[in-house]
Amino acid sequence: MISPGRPMGRRIAALSGAVALILAATGCGGGNGDGSGTGKVTSITALDYYTDTTEHAQWGERLTACGKTVGVTVEHTSVPGPSLVPKVLQRASSRTLPDLLMLDNPDLQQIAQTGALTPLDQYGIDFSGFAEGILSAGTYKGQVYGLAPSVSTIALIYNMDMLSEAGVAVPRTWDELKTAAAELTRPGRYGMAVDANATFEGTWQFLPFLWSNGGDEKQLNTPQAAQALQLWVDLVKSGSMSKSVLNWTQADVHDQFVAGKAAMMVNGPWRISDLNQAEKLHWGVAPIPVRQTGQALVTPLGGEVWTVPQSASKTRQEKAAQVLVCLNDSTNQLALAKRNFTAPSRSAVASRYTEQVPSMAAFVKSVEGARARTGELGVRWPKAATAIYTAIQSALTGQQTPEEALKHAQQMATSP
């Protein structure tokens, strides 16, 4: 769950051949009903990147049920994740987008910037009950353009048996984390594992350490940011964390943990299904440690938002908005969260959910204070994210000190 409920590592590789044809079929305002918006609408189109067979079927069922509720048939199509945004941008200016469009939440900014999406308040949608950070993920210039039925974030997942055997408590602060990681490290096993690779995944995993310590992507060359990066450097230098984290994906981190080669890891709830299938593995989840007691944990928010693009038919837009509301009702949010190990976006639903799925409690708690990656910089976020993972690589390889790496990162992020 990118990622991040979809993390960046879960985006499926592009299948370039049929994408244009698929979007032509779904993106031209097809279905019944005249373009003036006065005719009866009996079907609408929906587009997402859930190309995995199971995911596609699940969302197809959900869209079909919601369509039936509002009196339309939903023609549901999926395209590979990397292909979605480029094709949407191509069709945005001509208003030939589908009636209902799913976007990874960091991508909403650049699509909304084109004017291709409609503000959801014009349909009378009630935004109450959604956590502030979740609404922020679907907001552009003060208006809500997208809503996420469920979301995700990352937490500390640990091997309960290894911690018990070593007499180590679950760490809550950075000092406790360094101590625990050192005591848990053995020949053939590291105490801690993260994804520090040179992609947006590496940035995503670093953000809780940066943000919780008061660091900010608007100004990367600060003592707070340097302290966060120094923590990762210290873990690698001490041998508590493998140098291979520079190349690991979140999937690799998971594999190391399941194989018993890492006692703790930073990862997301999308790993729970596989963790549950690992024989003799007893694991727990805790919030990511903060530098010192009293600091508030701030994690990045993952998940997809559903939007209603502009079209020639107001009636079609209204029907699409009604389906969007249905996807975000309490029943669907709870069902989707249970099935996918994500967190419901409505706070009241999330509270009920943790009672029913205790393994999600730490993730749901972290979501309460989670932030959208684009919340501060909007469309400029990708440039900052690139600068951050470049700094991580430079510092962990020893090419630069954290201070030097972050000074360079600030220059990268603010260059024309």
One pLDDT digit (tens) per residue for the chain, 416 residues: 444 444 443 333 333 333 333 333 334 444 444 444 456 899 999 999 999 999 999 999 999 999 999 999 999 999 999 999 998 998 887 778 999 999 999 999 999 999 999 999 999 999 999 988 899 999 999 999 999 999 999 999 999 999 999 999 999 999 999 999 999 999 999 999 999 999 999 999 999 999 999 999 999 999 999 999 999 999 999 999 999 999 999 999 999 999 999 999 999 999 999 999 998 999 999 999 999 999 999 999 999 999 999 998 999 999 999 999 999 999 999 999 999 999 999 999 999 999 999 999 999 999 999 999 999 999 999 999 999 999 999 999 999 999 999 999 999 999 98
Spell 345-380 as b/e; 16+ CB within 10 A means b.
bbbebbeebbeebebbbbbbbbbbbbbbbbbebbbe
Give the whole-angstrom CA distance, residue 388 versus residue 310: 35
In the block, tokens 């067979």 appear at 53
Give the whole-angstrom CA distance, residue 159 versus residue 254: 12
Spell 38-50 as b/e; 16+ CB within 10 A means b.
eeebebbbbbbbb
- What local confidence, expressed as pLDDT, does residue 91 receive? 85
CATH of 8-152+302-368, one of 3.30.70.870, 3.10.105.10, 3.40.50.300, 3.40.190.10: 3.40.190.10
Give the whole-angstrom CA distance, residue 221 versus residue 405: 8
CA dihedral (68, 74, 76, 81) positive or negative: negative
Give the whole-angstrom CA distance, residue 157 versus residue 249: 16
- What local confidence, expressed as pLDDT, does residue 38 receive? 55
Name residue 304's beta-bridge partners.
104
Q: Judge whether 246 and 395 are in contact, CB under 8 Å.
A: no
- Of the CA atoms within 13 Å of residue 227, those in its CB half-sphere come to 17
Give the whole-angstrom CA distance, residue 384 versus residue 386: 5
- What local confidence, expressed as pLDDT, does residue 3 receive? 45
Comparing 8-152+302-368 with 155-299+377-414, is the CATH topology the same? Answer: yes
- What local confidence, expressed as pLDDT, does residue 401 receive? 98
Query: Sheet containing 43-48: which strands, arranged edge to edge?
Result: 73-78, 43-48, 100-104, 304-307, 146-147
Which residues lie below 8 Å from residue 50, measured CB to CB, with a gap of 6+? Answer: 56, 58, 59, 78, 102
Domain boundaries, the chain: 8-152+302-368, 155-299+377-414
CATH level 2 (architecture), domain 155-299+377-414: 3-Layer(aba) Sandwich (3.40)
- How far lies 228's CA from each of 176, 216, 222, 388, in Å? 14, 11, 10, 12
Give the whole-angstrom CA distance, residue 281 versus residue 34: 58
**Which phi-psi region, left, alpha or beta, contains residue 129 (left: φ > 0; alpha: ψ -120 to 50)?**
left
pTM of the model: 0.88
Q: Judge whether 191 and 263 are in contact, CB under 8 Å.
A: yes
Q: Of 409, 30, 58, 7, whose CA–CA distance to 195 is shortest?
A: 7
Helices (H), 33-96: 53-70, 81-92
- What local confidence, expressed as pLDDT, does residue 31 receive? 43
- What local confidence, expressed as pLDDT, does residue 92 receive? 85
